[in-house]
Amino acid sequence: MAGARFRVIDRHAPRKAVDPDIREITERIAQDASADAPRLTGRLAASYRVARGVAPAVYLVTTDVEYAKYVEYGTRNMAARAPMGRALAHARR
């Protein structure tokens, strides 16, 4: 192998290879969070979306419900329900 030279033709190739798996994991997290979210109107549970990030194999779980952060992390007057935290904890197992 002496003198062999390699040229990187796609620096995102490793990320592209795992992109489908990461997307699947992210979708599972969003589904778990939705299933675990408290339901009064069902608005929060229905709001979790998977969005593509800025690079391959980067995905985000988002919600546009304004009170989602208080349900997730609690307040001093309300216990946290942590649907995303619990879904992430399960995914990290």
Partner 1 sequence: MTTPPVIVQPDLEAWVWSNIRGLSPGITSFAYAAEQVFPGWVYTHFIQVDARAKRKDAARALAEQARQVIYALAETPWPDGAVVYVQPVEGPLWLPDDDGLPRYVTRYEFRVHPLAPPGAITTAGEPASPHRRKAASARSTA
Length of the chain equals 93
Minimum distance of partner 1 from residue 54's CB (angstroms): 20
70 binds partner 1 (CB under 8 A): yes
56 binds partner 1 (CB under 8 A): no
User: Hunting for tokens 């990030």 — which residue is that?
Assistant: 53
| Contact between 43 and partner 1 per CB under 8 A | no
Both tokens of residue 35? 């299933």
Torsion angle of alpha carbons 33, 37, 39, 45, nearest 10°? Answer: -30
Stretch that binds partner 1, among 5-13, 16-24, 27-35, 78-86 (CB under 8 A): 78-86
